[in-house]
Copies of this chain bind each other. A is one copy, B any other.
Amino acid sequence: MFELLQYLAVISAGLYGVLLARSNAMDLVGICGVAFIVAFGGGTLRDVLLDRQPLFWIAHEHYAWTLFGIAIVGAWIPRLPQRLEQWLLIPDALGLALFSIVGAGIAIETTRYEVSMFIASLFGVITGAFGGLMADVVCNQVPRLFLSTTPFYSVCAFVGCWVYLLLRFAGVDEPIALWSGVVVIVAFRLAAVRWDWRFPATSR
């Protein structure tokens, strides 16, 4: 079950990368590269910052295979963006939720030194949202994550990570804490999109 959802997260992130690359008129190399950055960028940054070896996509190589499969297939389907647009929201929210909670869990369980809940929640956000940020930067766009024109995204991850970490701290069983965090992130994200919750732009 968990394995299946991890796959779904990678697939969803990969599809987002394909759409982003296609909207920039990139070729197959660009699609593979951007999909890779979206799906694995956040987790790779987390592993490098926490000095975890080997990186998760080296240890679990089938994720990389799956991703390139999606990129190659996704590159050739005509009018993919139009077809996917209305379907992508839910897997995207699920991908954000799963990556974030897994990232926060990995950080809090680091054994080489103590990591506080605050730092762990930051690693949750980094794992969930920084792949998309890096891909936006590579595609020469100001990261949507940072703009007031898009509904809450990293805020959902941040809140959900705290739900997970606090339940864990309170002694709740790991799977219950984990799924509570995931559900909060997905629900919060869908609600934010539905009712357009966002921070105001700051004035100059």
Taking a contact as CB atoms under 8 Å apart, the answer to whether A30 and B118 are in contact is no
Q: What is the total number of copies of this protein in its complex? A: 3
Is there contact, CB below 8 Å, between B49 and A51? Answer: no
A95 CB to closest chain B CB (Å) equals: 18
Residues of B within 8 A of A76 (CB): 202
Q: Flag the segment in A52-60, A96-104, A166-174, A179-187 that touches B.
A: A52-60
Measured in the bound complex, the distance between the Cα atoms of B140 and A143 in whole Å is 9
Name the residue in A33, A148, A200, A202 with the highest tally of chain B Cβ atoms < 10 Å from its Cβ. A202
In the bound complex, residues from chain B placing their C-beta under 8 Å from that of A153 are 29
Residue A25 lies at the interface, judged by CB distance under 8 Å to chain B: yes
A58 to B33, CA, bound (A): 28
Residues of B within 8 A of A118 (CB): 61, 64-65
A71 to chain B, nearest CB (A): 11
- The one of B23, B27, B148, B201 in contact with A148, judged by C-beta atoms closer than 8 angstroms, is B27
Say which one of A8-16, A108-116, A188-196 lies at the interface with B.
A108-116
- Within 8 Å of chain B (Cβ to Cβ): is A141? yes
> Which residues of A are interface residues toward B (Cβ below 8 A)?
21-31, 33-34, 44, 48-49, 51, 53-55, 58-59, 61, 64-65, 75-76, 78-79, 81, 112-113, 115-116, 118-119, 122, 133, 137-143, 145-148, 153-155, 198-204
27 contacts between A and B (CB under 8 A): A22-B203, A25-B201, A25-B202, A26-B146, A26-B148, A26-B202, A27-B146, A27-B148, A27-B198, A27-B201, A27-B202, A28-B199, A30-B147, A30-B148, A31-B202, A33-B133, A34-B146, A51-B51, A54-B113, A59-B113, A61-B118, A75-B202, A76-B202, A81-B204, A133-B138, A137-B138, A138-B143
